[in-house]
């Protein structure tokens, strides 16, 4: 098994930390992982993205241009990465601020309105955990309890009191994610 | 098995320095390697092992702090990125001239000049051919993973002390910034003053009545003596070439064509090899782990067996010169590279291979 994921959105949405949690969960499950962030001028413009690979085998290139799954959290990222999803792959997006919804029919499209949901929760910072829950609901790349363990490992101890609310957000994400359309497989 | 952590390459270097019992880090921040000093600052190595952490006022100051500390037998390192490493070259030349051990990390970004902050491999010449003035070489290690970033700190220090020669870890922005799983080793104790005195009789640890003064210098005004010293260095580099060549071979046994790549490029090329094999092209990858000494002999052996060799670098073609020297025209050698902070894709490397050879 090898899963190649891009998570893309604004800086501050928790894009990078969501990738970290996935990686830690992968490590707990004995998998190989790479986490390759965009850094530099791109990041300084306000957008952030990270490509994550979780694999049973040694990972060759950490820098990839096509993905099994894209998690898209703003319009710029939609424009940039919709076409980078492999045919038959998954695109998961938050509808907040999206002016052009995904158009491809050869990929599985899901929508998780995490920003709206996070506004209802104790803290809006759980946004990325709602997205993570949604991802794991449609693509169980790592086991749920391993994801929670990953969360614990990637969070500094001084924030450990926030784990229950994050856990709750992950579960919320599993509930609110909606299928937009399944990939049409050409005969 | 040691503890497994998810770390950036730059963080792994910093943690490894503390765990390897380094005595000091002197540096000056620059993208894309500032996490080294940031991580060290957060870890408070003074508290953990007594290791000194100092942000100097400039690159020049930091490399001269290394010079001084290394002269007293201390295990010290610095890190920077391309423009900063250029600034350090005078000091590095003096350190090589004084035959002192130290570790220098270069997390390369695109150049020349201030260039870009994205990953590049355009400092190959500078790293492997000397870098500063005078006839000298660094021992150059090229990690291709975060685990190797961690492991090569210990290896780099060991080689530096074994040969009394500065060692360099030549990395790039991609490996510095990416996170992977790292197995962390045990905490090694720092050496005591007494141990340094016994193990490194050349170090300036304070003169005792039973020995002559130790003088650390790179100055020798008598040309005859200087040439003797140069010959000694040549002999040292010959020994290093004989004993310390390291490389990894991926699917080379039956290869018709060979890619040669190090660091980030080698990871890309590993994928190219997978893709080529799926298409029935017998492609292999030779990854130099040491860039100085270069695996010339192994390449010369392959030159008898393969139909073509392509050097893949994020540069205009630097390592390819060493590949050509190694194979001495016995086989066609080509170069493929991207510059300016662009990382080539596995697909385009395969495309280039086909265009050049098939």
Domains and CATH numbers, chain A: 2-181 (3.40.920.10)
pLDDT in tens, A133-183: 999 999 999 999 999 999 999 888 999 999 999 999 999 999 999 999 999
CB within 8 Å: A23 and B347: no
Cβ atoms < 10 Å from Cβ of B147: 17
The answer to whether residue A185 scores a pLDDT higher than 70 is: yes
Contacting residues of B for A44, CB less than 8 Å apart: none
Query: How far is residue B166's CA from residue B157's CA, in Å, rounded to a whole number?
Result: 9
Cβ atoms < 10 Å from Cβ of A161: 9
CB within 8 Å: B274 and A65: no
Query: How far is residue B214's CA from residue B295's CA, in Å, rounded to a whole number?
Result: 36
| Confidence bin at A123 (pLDDT 50/70/90) | confident
Contacting residues of B for A39, CB less than 8 Å apart: 31-32, 117, 173, 177
CB within 8 Å: B180 and A33: yes
DSSP character at residue B350: H
The answer to whether residue A49 scores a pLDDT higher than 90 is: yes
Buried b (16+ CB within 10 A) or exposed e, B303-329: beebebbbbbbbbebbbbbbbbebbee
Residues 254-283 of B with CB under 8 A from A: 264, 267-268, 270-271, 273-274
Query: Mutate which of A17, A44, A51, A63 to disrupt the B interface (most B C-beta within 10 Å)?
Result: A63
Maximum C-alpha span of chain B = 72
Residues 75-94 of A with CB under 8 A from B: none
> What value of ipTM does the predicted structure carry?
0.92
B154/chain A closest Cα distance in angstroms? 23
Of B177, B181, B267, the CB nearest to A27: B181
Task: Confirm if B251 and B278 have CB atoms less than 8 A apart.
Answer: no
- Mean of pLDDT values over A19-37: 96
- Mean of pLDDT values over A31-43: 82
Nearest to B312 by CA among B258, B357, B275: B258
Sheet harboring B290-292: ordered strands across? B52-55, B24-27, B76-80, B102-108, B166-172, B139-141, B290-292
Flag whether residue B9 sits within 8 Å of chain A, measured between CB atoms.
no
CB within 8 Å: A35 and B345: no
Q: How far is CA B187 from CA B16, B49, B190, in A?
A: 9, 9, 9
DSSP helix/strand/coil, B184: strand
A153/chain B closest Cα distance in angstroms? 9
Q: What angle do CA B182, B247, B162 make, to 5 degrees?
A: 80
Cβ atoms < 10 Å from Cβ of A174: 17
Domains, chain B, with CATH or none:
3-193 (3.40.50.970), 248-357 (3.40.50.920)
A129: Cβ–Cβ under 8 A, 6 or more apart, which residues? A14, A18, A151, A166, A167, A169, A170, A173
Query: How far is residue A43's CA from residue A35's CA, in Å, rounded to a whole number?
Result: 15
| Confidence bin at A43 (pLDDT 50/70/90) | low
Question: Alpha helix locations (H) across chain B?
Answer: 9-19, 34-43, 45-48, 59-71, 82-97, 124-128, 146-163, 173-177, 193-199, 223-243, 263-278, 296-303, 319-327, 346-357
- Residue B181: the pLDDT is 97
Task: Confirm if B176 and B146 have CB atoms less than 8 A apart.
Answer: no
Gyration radius from chain B CA atoms? 21
CB pairs under 8 A between A and B: 68
Task: Confirm if A19 and A82 have CB atoms less than 8 A apart.
Answer: no
Nearest to B260 by CA among B192, B331, B189: B331
pLDDT along chain B (358 residues), means of 10: 92 98 98 97 97 98 98 98 98 98 98 95 97 97 98 98 98 96 97 96 94 95 98 98 98 98 98 98 98 98 98 98 97 97 96 97
Task: Confirm if B310 and B257 have CB atoms less than 8 A apart.
Answer: yes
Of A24, A61, A153, the CB nearest to B271: A61
CB within 8 Å: A39 and B177: yes
Contacting residues of B for A154, CB less than 8 Å apart: 6
In chain A, which residue's Cα lies nearest the Cα of B344? A63
Contacting residues of A for B178, CB less than 8 Å apart: 34-37, 62
- Mean of pLDDT values over A124-128: 93
| Confidence bin at A41 (pLDDT 50/70/90) | low
């Amino acid at each position: 098994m090898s899963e190649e994921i891009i998570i893309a959105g604004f800086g501050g949405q928790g894009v990078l930390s969501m990738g970290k949690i996935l990686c830690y969960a992968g490590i707990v499950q004995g998998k190989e992982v790479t986490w390759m962030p965009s850094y530099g001028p791109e990041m300084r413009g306000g957008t952030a993205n990270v490509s994550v690979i979780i694999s049973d085998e040694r990972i060759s290139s950490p820098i990839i241009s096509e993905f099994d799954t894209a998690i898209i959290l703003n319009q710029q990222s939609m424009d940039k990465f919709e076409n980078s999803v492999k045919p038959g792959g998954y695109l998961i997006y938050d509808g907040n601020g999206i002016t052009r919804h995904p158009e491809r029919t050869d990929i599985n499209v899901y929508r998780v309105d995490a920003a709206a949901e996070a506004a209802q929760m104790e803290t809006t910072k759980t946004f990325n955990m709602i997205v993570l829950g949604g991802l794991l609901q449609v693509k169980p790349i790592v086991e749920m309890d391993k994801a929670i363990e990953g969360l614990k490992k990637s969070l500094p101890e001084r924030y450990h009191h926030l784990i229950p609310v994050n856990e709750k957000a992950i579960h919320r994400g599993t509930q609110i994610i909606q299928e937009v359309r399944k990939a049409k497989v050409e005969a | 098995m040691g503890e497994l952590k998810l770390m950036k390459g730059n963080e792994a270097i910093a943690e490894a320095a503390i765990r390897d019992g380094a005595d000091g880090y002197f540096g000056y921040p620059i993208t894309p390697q500032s996490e080294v000093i940031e991580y060290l600052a957060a870890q408070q190595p003074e508290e953990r092992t007594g290791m000194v952490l100092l942000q100097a006022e400039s690159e020049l100051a930091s490399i001269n702090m290394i010079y001084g500390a290394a002269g007293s037998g201390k295990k010290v390192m610095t890190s920077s990125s391309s423009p900063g490493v250029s600034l350090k070259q005078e000091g590095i030349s003096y350190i090589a001239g004084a035959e002192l051990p130290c570790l220098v990390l270069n997390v390369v970004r695109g150049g020349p000049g201030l260039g870009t902050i994205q990953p590049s491999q355009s400092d190959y010449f500078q790293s492997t051919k000397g870098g500063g003035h005078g006839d000298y070489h660094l021992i150059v290690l090229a990690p291709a993973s975060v685990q190797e970033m961690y492991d090569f700190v210990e290896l780099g220090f060991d080689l530096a002390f074994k040969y009394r020669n500065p060692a360099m870890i030549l990395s790039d922005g991609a490996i510095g910034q990416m996170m992977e799983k790292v197995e962390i080793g045990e905490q090694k104790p720092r050496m005591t003053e007494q141990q340094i005195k016994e193990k490194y009789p050349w170090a300036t640890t304070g003169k005792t009545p039973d020995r002559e003064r130790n003088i650390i210098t790179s100055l020798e005004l008598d040309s005859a003596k200087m040439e003797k010293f140069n010959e000694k260095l040549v002999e040292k580099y010959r020994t290093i070439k004989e004993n310390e060549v390291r490389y990894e071979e991926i699917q080379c046994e039956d290869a018709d064509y060979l890619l040669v790549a190090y660091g980030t490029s080698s990871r890309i090329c590993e994928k190219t090899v997978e893709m080529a094999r799926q298409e029935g092209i017998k492609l292999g990858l030779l990854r130099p782990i040491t860039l100085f000494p270069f695996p010339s002999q192994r390449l010369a052996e392959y030159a008898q067996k393969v139909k073509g060799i392509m050097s893949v670098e994020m540069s205009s073609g630097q390592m390819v010169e060493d590949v050509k020297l190694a194979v001495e025209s016995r086989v066609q050698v080509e170069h493929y590279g991207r510059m300016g902070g662009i990382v080539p894709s596995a697909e385009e490397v395969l495309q280039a291979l086909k265009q050049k050879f098939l």
